[in-house]
Structure 1
Amino acid sequence: MTLIDAVQLLTAYHAGGLAGYLLVRRISPSLAILCLVFATHMLANLVTTLAQLPPQANITSAFGLLYGPAFWLFVRGLCYREARPGWRDLIHLVPALLVILIRPADPWPQLAGLPLLIGYLVATFLALREHGRLAGQVRADDDRVSLRWVRQAFFAFVAIAAFDIGRSAFAARLPGLDDAGLALVLVAVTALLSALTWRSREHVRDRGALSPRGLEAGRAGAASGPDDADALADFSRIDAIVRRQELWREPRLSLADVAREAGGSTRDVSRAVNAGSGRSFSAYVNGLRIDAVDALMSDPERSDATLLTLAFEAGFNSKSAFNRLYRTVRGETPSRAFARAASARLSRD
């Protein structure tokens, strides 16, 4: 067994283990499918090489048509809570099955799969954009469930693919580095799948996927405007409740929490907040939190408290999110505002 054979066997074993973990823990069946596709691809390569199968028996080119739909199903599951793989999704297997049955010579499978891959990538980015746009409409900790890491993973996949293409192009000139380069590619893909598994676990734990009710409320809020008289009237009442009960102190405050306290549907509350504040639910709540931090900075009785303590007391649960939001809203870093407030207290004393 050569080096590349051993690497393919180990990566197949690891990817299969990730798939089993994802299925047993019910984290992401869609990511489990992606891991299984990769594991099966590696085993198919291994069998083809060791058994010295003839070209007409080689089905490895069909796997290239499965990564696009597998990645799309994975992202769809992250974005939408009810979007679990179902029988209807078997239609995504049709192109790969046609390649297995017809067995076209290379590069025809790759050329046929390119427009399909582009279509899946477009659908993936549309889903990510909608999740990013609507998550802030239904929960105040939208930064915690952001899917920016999925975009980073996608670009990592692109970088790995580019490296693999370059490796293939120079394989004839540098034969000694061919297997080593391919081994590096397979290890990188395996490491990336492991990272996706870990981040998916965190995302599921934080219930980051949008529910059908959340989607409806988020879309209603995003479509509302300041000319909605009923929504403006509701906002005055909702805003008074949020301020009086200091609901913004809850780090994981959601639109459903406010709707429960205010006595209304999430759809109506979302419309009211967007119309009345001119901002998303997340921006509205975090604006109240920043106001609270400013008040605490100026409070002489809290002079011994650290800036991070004040931020957590106001409802922030992440230092990075607090720093970013404060700088966006106030136009300066919170540490500078904190120092200025401390100087003002000393001058008064």
Structure 2
Amino acid sequence: MPVQISNRPSLRCVAFLIGQLGRGGAEAQISMLAQGLHRRGIEVHMFLVSAGGPHEATLRAAGIEIHHLGFARLPSGVPDLVRCLKGFVRLIAFLRRIRADVLHAYLFEGRVLGPPAARLARVPLMVAGRRCAGEPEQRHRWVVALERAMIRMTDHVVANAIAVAEEARMIVKIPPQKLSVIYNGLQVSAFDQAEPEFIDTDLPVVVCVARLSPQKGHRFLLDAASRLQRRGRPCTFLFVGEGQEHHRLRELANELEVDVRFLGDRSDVNALLASADVAVLPSLWEGLSNAIMEAMAAGLPIVATAVGGTPELLDGRGLLVPASDGEALADGIARVLDNPELAASMSCAAHAWARKNLDADLMIDQHLDLYGRLASIRKAKRRRSRL
């Protein structure tokens, strides 16, 4: 369960490490956490392995220092060893200079680079963040072996869902006392009633907010769209996001002759959610989806695949269907559209649960509590070792 708030020792400086600051859920959450800690008077530094992104300007405007480490790949796709080594040395030097109390590393790159850098830079606490469950790459033998080696140099692991924590415990063999769950957070503005964007259609509107990648399962949603059309229940589908699957999905939508609007990356997601009748996320694997959280806050009924932390979000508050199953998705969407009372009941329950459990300030305070608890444990061990 999420850690509770308690009295905590003072904390001066927290450093974060992540690959880049694109529009993904992990990037949104690390940006939110960094700003929250900064507002509480803590010095915050953000280390980027290879690239910046949309959140970079926001963090700089908030007064958070950004450090580009310069890791890169050759044209062949192989890591540029010289630039990567220079970037690793740069990370160690920066960490020594700022004298961080905590290095909190997100995602695979961070979890691999962070522990040795923290130890070489003598950072007192190394915390790793795990954000996804069911990802096939996490089960490769060499990945598991590397993760287990890094865990030995990591003081604690924070998962964003119970399902994510359980997978880490079973596969990476993380001891339970070294593992906590802190749910993602939502800004208060996510609960504001947005002005709906005009969608030129007479059909029910189904929105899917997700990057266009194989993981998100859009091809099964297109299959569901085709099935609904054949049943005489056509809908307009809004695909909000960009990614490597864009061209292939557009071709498939044209082939199936379904009404799909590819809207790309958008900063006005709340307005699009307010325009929709139902939100859908057909992911094949997932952590704790920010897209589902935002739909809950917007008061939309939700149909999603029962993967990762999604059942924790939607237990009794949304329709859960099996992954990789277009027919089940079509059935779920039709059930919501054909049963307004059910849709209203689910959306109301989801909205209330999100307000209570997914507050950004709660998420920030839980991290502060965790850092403080780990610092207290470390100080106690050092005192005992001197006796």
Please give the TM-score of this superposition, normalised by the length of structure 1: 0.24
Please give the TM-score of this superposition, normalised by the length of structure 2: 0.22
Larger Rg: 1
Q: Relative to total residues, which structure has the larger helix share, 1 or 2?
A: 1
Q: Relative to total residues, which structure has the larger strand share, 1 or 2?
A: 2
